[in-house]
Structure 1
Amino acid sequence: MDDQSQVELTCVPGQRLCLADKEHISGCGTYERQGYIYSTLAGMVKVAKQDKVSVIEVHTSNDQSIVPAPGDIVTAKVTVVGQRFCKCMIKCIGNTVLTRPYRGMLRKEDVRATEKDSVEMIKCFRPGDIILARVLPITEVRSYNLSTAENELGVVIAHSEAGVSMVPVSWTEMQCPKTYFKEPRKVARVVPESIEVE
């Protein structure tokens, strides 16, 4: 990044901005790790001159200051289920409802912590399921990779073909209380009181 440039750059959390050296130091909205400066926010990159040092800062735009960051627990709705991954729309970060959804992707190898090769996506998720997932480190802009490999993560709300909210009966199954039909899922271990069904 050329600190002489007046072009305003936008960035996302976890994005590498520049080298951290004698001329460039981390400022507001950034952090330093292994010799580089990274953004902690989504927003505009600003370069503030102090003596002969450039202070790298990130300032958020007013419309949406919170975006998914690596390590965050998010609530997402499954939209498409394929053989190797499923696509999701991220609706909440923690307890904060987003003003607009973000696209997320959950890959087959990130569904479970063990027996990754035997995972069948259609036996873990269905379109319309509400899941809890953890945001993985960002590898590409505009897409968030998710993981449900922890016991507390996975499907929290699912509806049966009869349109009824299903009840977890094991780690791998949910049951329709109306038809008693069981469907396979990667079930999250959640305290029942924390589930809010609309």
Structure 2
Amino acid sequence: MQKEIGVKADFLDGRLQTNVALFETERKNYYITLPGALNPTPDGRDRSRGLELEVTARPMAGWSVLANFVVQNVKVESNALASNAQMGVINRSIAGTRPTGVARTGARLWTTYDFQQMALHGWGVGLGLTYKGDSYADSLNLYRVPAYVVLDAALYYRQKTWDVTLNLRNLTDKTYYISPTFAGALPGDTRSAMLTARYRFQ
């Protein structure tokens, strides 16, 4: 169940657009894996309240900038008990903890430029940062997954019916972790490249 109220506004003849939203999300009856338990339990319950801000700017012809920021206060409302013998925790309620893998803050900054010169018509480049705040890998919030910032880029060529894009991920080859589980977290993508071609049928 999600409730949301927001305001959208345009400035500078549409070259600057803003979107601000307050939200509340409630989740119930989903499966969670508790430390010390043999099987998942359907007692997952949590509630989050937060603010999302998005700004889109077009400072000049061909140049676009998108910025997005989210901050939320999210807490588990389930009273299920969990244990972690290695950490000396026995039958502690998970109420008031943060759900596994959920960060309080997140942000993205992405900018693209479509070349305006006739000789480079159709070509464009993009560069962006993705940020995710720290999270936890377990329901007791004993194993913290660090925050990270990743730098990506793109080079593309677009026509009316087709386009080709080269995505460059994690340019700095930063080590970071995603998809937290009750036992740890998986590493994110290393420096990599992906070439994508698309054709749009008329």
Task: State the TM-score, normalizing by the size of structure 2.
Answer: 0.22
> Highest CA radius of gyration, 1 or 2?
2
